Amino acid sequence: KEIHEEPGAVRDTLTEMDDVMRVVKEIGEVERVCFVACGTSYHASLVGKYLFESILGIPTDVILASEFRYSARALTDRTLAVFISQSGETADTLNALRSANSRAKTLAIVNVLGSSATREAQHVLYTRAGPEIGVAATKTYVSQLTIIYMLVAAMGAPELIEKLEKVPAIMEEALGDEDNIRALSSHYSNVSDFFFIGRGFSYPTALEGALKLKEITYIHGEGYAAGELKHGPLALIDDGVPVVAISPPGPCHDKTLSNVEEVRARGARVIGVGSTLDEALRKEADDFIGLSPEVDEVLSPLVYIVPLQLLSYYVSVERGLDPDKPKNLAKCVTV
């Protein structure tokens, strides 16, 4: 249900543009950005780094909230420290926010109204995903991404807005491919390992795809920057090991395709995720998930995660699990 609510969550979050503009004005000049978060919110932050650096040219760090206290990062009054949290109550994120408040400009991006992070940060932006009951974050992830894109738009890339407005309809199209994803997921319910590979903007998508799989199917899933494969993990690719290759149209495409050839040569079973017009990837892949050719690399994190969430959902159901209530995971980690 919550995956199906994603187009609406993006639409509702896009109505916050005036608020984003107001907050950007209040924040003033920014020389560096430092994102801090946990879990899925950390992966949204990684997309933020690619956006801030490639579009705005602002140097950006991303730090796991649990590692923030060990980081010697110099924060200054021209650093914007961005704390992303669905709940606004995650202990590691709150502790980091408290220690940054006196050293930097702080902004919390939160889904739950009135939560601790919204009371403690200097600036606040809300995602409009509505309540999220499923323990593993889905619609709040795409809403967090939407706010980050809007922030980048407001800080100097207004052309992004027109592109973002097309996203909900493209997501609806992606959700229309659910029967294909349900059918192909039956090939993967008994495997013990899964790999997700992507480059550039698709690297955080690979990490988030692997996290969803771990959280709700309990299958070991690894997300890798596709170019890292040759530095070790290729040794783990054997006959029949599933590799999800995330390869939207754009400058990274051909290099990712050559990584697909590499894993195929070692017997991997490839699930290609790319443009419906991508005949080269379709040909290399054992299973293929096609998405709108309109979605380029920059926009892909918002759309390419949708079929990966559905894949994990259906593999979880095939394994007889309850995807909404994964074991050993709380919706809000307050310790």
**What's the min distance (Å) between Cβ of 147 and ligand F1P?**
13
Q: Which is nearer to ligand F1P, 123 or 331 (CB)?
A: 331
Task: For residues 132 and 95, give the distance between their C-alpha atoms in angstroms, rounded to a whole number.
Answer: 23
At 102 the three-state DSSP class reads: coil
Q: What phi, psi does 40 have (nearest 5°)?
A: -60, -40
Cβ neighbours, 10 Å, residue 165? 12
Q: Which is nearer to ligand F1P, 112 or 257 (CB)?
A: 112
**Degrees, nearest 5: CA angle 29-30-36:** 145
List the interface residues with ligand F1P, window 60-89 (CB under 6 A): 85-87
Q: Which of 137, 207, 229, 305 binds ligand F1P (CB under 6 A)?
A: 137
What the block records as the tokens of 232 is 């070790």
* Site stretch for ligand F1P (CB under 6 A), options 19-27, 67-75, 129-137, 238-246: 129-137
193, β-bridge pairs: 220
90 binds ligand F1P (CB under 6 A): yes
Q: What character string, x for contact with ligand F1P (CB under 6 A) and - otherwise, covers 275-314?
A: ----------------------------------------
Handedness of CA 168, 173, 177, 181 (dihedral sign): negative
How many whole angstroms from its chain centre is CA 257? 21
Cβ neighbours, 10 Å, residue 54? 14
List the interface residues with ligand F1P, window 12-51 (CB under 6 A): 38-41
The closest of 154, 160, 206, 156 to 298, measured between CA atoms, is 160
Q: By CB under 6 A, how many residues form the interface with ligand F1P?
A: 16
**What's the min distance (Å) between Cβ of 91 and ligand F1P?**
9
Alpha carbons within 13 angstroms on the beta-carbon side of residue 277 total 8
Q: Which is nearer to ligand F1P, 30 or 332 (CB)?
A: 332
Strand pairing report for 220-225 and 193-198: parallel
List the interface residues with ligand F1P, window 232-261 (CB under 6 A): none
Task: For residues 5 and 41, give the distance between their C-alpha atoms in angstroms, rounded to a whole number.
Answer: 18
The closest of 222, 262, 267 to 244, measured between CA atoms, is 222
List the interface residues with ligand F1P, window 180-219 (CB under 6 A): none
Q: Which is nearer to ligand F1P, 210 or 257 (CB)?
A: 210
Q: Are 226 and 198 in contact (CB under 8 A)?
A: yes
- The residue type of 118 is T
Q: Which is nearer to ligand F1P, 149 or 288 (CB)?
A: 149
**What's the min distance (Å) between Cβ of 95 and ligand F1P?**
12
What the block records as the tokens of 134 is 């499923």
Q: Which of 93, 106, 185, 316 binds ligand F1P (CB under 6 A)?
A: 93
Rg (CA), the chain: 19
Q: Which is nearer to ligand F1P, 37 or 237 (CB)?
A: 37
Task: Indicate the residue whose CB is closest to ligand F1P.
Answer: 39
**What's the min distance (Å) between Cβ of 34 and ligand F1P?**
16
129 binds ligand F1P (CB under 6 A): no
**What's the min distance (Å) between Cβ of 61 and ligand F1P?**
18
Task: For residues 17 and 23, give the distance between their C-alpha atoms in angstroms, rounded to a whole number.
Answer: 10
118 binds ligand F1P (CB under 6 A): no
**What's the min distance (Å) between Cβ of 57 and ligand F1P?**
28
Interface ranges with ligand F1P (CB under 6 A)? 38-41, 85-87, 90, 93, 135-137, 329, 331-333
